[in-house]
Amino acid sequence: MKTKLLLLVAIGMIAINVAKAEGPTAHLFGDAELCQGDSALITVELTGTAPWSIVYIQDNGDMDTINGIQSSPYTFWVKPSYHNSYQCGHVSDASGLPGTASGMATVLVWSSPIAQFSFTVVNSNEVAFTNESLNSWDYLWNFGDGGDSVSTEQFPTKIYSASGSYVVTLTASNMCGTDTVQDTVDVIVTSLRSLPSEEQTSNHMVVYYDLSGREVSQLKPNAVYIRKSGDGKNQKIYFVQ
């Protein structure tokens, strides 16, 4: 009777030990940002019994297998040519039990910056700059009129105080370096004719409008304006020389 009881206990203990056995795990990580031509280090943390084998999958679906891993954590280098991610898709070890794979590393690859811009003369002395740089996120403008005439805005506007030719410089940069480009802006500053603050016609205020119907407070040379009195009865068109 004692022999049968001990045997049943032993069988129960064996069943419990088998139920607790777990398969291997692999967790992959290693997000990075780098410049073209550089490499990123990927790390995989493993549990189970060496040696391990892992399979990782890239964005385009390509799969790579690494066999014979003897220790954890395991690291390996990748050298992508463009933004890419690496996902752990499978793990196995010496136990032969089913494994659990998890984790992903995203690697961002940046090219060297290319500085370029265009500009539009909005008014005679006001210039709007359009930043057309590639692969960049930091900018420094020098507007060429001396002093501290600089800006770090992406799309700045500059008002020049005197006529002349100004060499404008844009420096664009990112983590991989800087690039500089220059262009010449020709500015002709014309004087503005201020309106009287309280011009009256038949006791009604006089207001000037441009041809789009917008009220203006200054008249520019070589432009056409509509002059109206406050009662709407006195309306004339003027060409300012």
User: Which H or E element spans position 130?
Assistant: strand 126-131
**pLDDT greater than 60 at residue 67:** yes
Q: Say yes or no: 101 and 28 in one domain.
A: yes
Confidence of residue 71 (pLDDT cuts 50, 70, 90): very high
In a domain, 74, yes or no: yes
Cα–Cα distance measured from residue 137 to residue 33, given in angstroms and rounded to the nearest whole number = 14
Provide the domain count of the chain. Answer: 3
Q: CATH no. for residue 140? A: 2.60.40.10
If you ran DSSP here, which 8-state letter would residue 144 be given?
Answer: S
Region of 11 please: left (phi>0), alpha (psi -120 to 50) or beta. Answer: alpha
Q: Say yes or no: 173 and 200 in one domain.
A: no
Q: Say yes or no: 94 and 29 in one domain.
A: yes
Q: Say yes or no: 46 and 81 in one domain.
A: yes
Q: Which of 91, 110, 129 is the last residue of a domain?
A: 110
pTM value is: 0.62
Q: Do the beta carbons of residue 129 and residue 142 sit within 8 Å?
A: no
In a domain, 139, yes or no: yes
Q: What is the pLDDT of residues 27-36, one digit of tens each?
A: 999 999 999 9
Q: Say yes or no: 139 and 80 in one domain.
A: no
In a domain, 16, yes or no: no
Within 8 A by CB and 6+ apart from 194, the residues are 217, 218, 219
Task: Give the range of the structural domain holding residue 177, as residue numbers without chain letter.
Answer: 117-187
Residue 219's SS3 state is strand
Q: Which of 110, 142, 159 is the last residue of a domain?
A: 110
Work out the mean pLDDT of the chain and round it to a whole number. Answer: 82
In a domain, 100, yes or no: yes
Cα–Cα distance measured from residue 42 to residue 38, given in angstroms and rounded to the nearest whole number = 13
